[in-house]
């Protein structure tokens, strides 16, 4: 029943991008709304509760996937978050309560028309 209510709230919020932005910006206070998409619930069917692997969150944005992984019960797994937008880093830092979340910035730039990849780990937290 709670999942149905969350789904209904999510559908209403998605109609207004401003509300979505407010929720994602304050995700660290609104974790009860997550996971917010049905796709995440499918992960519980794919992975067992004692799954020991790591997760990659490519394009971490505001941390909504990271929060969803934790809320689904994957609390002991490491999550590697990659995000190219340095402005979103402060939001990702607020989500990083768990010591096994590592945040990376990825930048791709051109030098003499050759693409270069730059990866920087902002903070090393937890076990590697």
User: For the sheet containing 114-123, what is the strand order?
Assistant: 55-58, 79-83, 101-111, 114-123
**89-118, pLDDT tens digit by residue?**
777 877 776 567 888 777 665 566 666 666
Helix (H) or strand (E) holding 103: strand 101-111
- Sort strands 79-83 and 55-58 into parallel, antiparallel or unpaired: parallel
**CA atoms of 27 and 33, how far apart (whole Å):** 9
pLDDT at 3 > cutoff 50: yes
Helix (H) or strand (E) holding 56: strand 55-58
What phi, psi does 69 have (nearest 5°)? -60, -45
pLDDT at 127 > cutoff 70: no
Q: For the chain, which residues make up each domain, given as ranges?
A: 2-123
């Amino acid at each position: 029943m709670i999942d149905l209510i969350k789904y209904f709230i999510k559908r209403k919020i998605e109609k207004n991008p401003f509300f979505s932005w407010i929720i994602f910006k304050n995700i660290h206070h609104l974790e009860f709304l997550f996971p917010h998409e049905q796709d995440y619930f499918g992960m519980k069917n794919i992975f067992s509760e004692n799954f020991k692997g790591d997760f990659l969150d490519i394009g971490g944005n505001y941390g909504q996937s990271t929060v969803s992984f934790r809320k689904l019960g994957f609390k002991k797994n490491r999550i590697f978050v990659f995000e190219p937008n340095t402005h979103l880093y402060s939001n990702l830092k607020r989500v990083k309560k768990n010591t096994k979340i590592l945040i990376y910035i990825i930048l791709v730039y051109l030098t003499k028309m050759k693409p270069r990849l730059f990866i920087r780990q902002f903070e090393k937290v937890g076990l590697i």
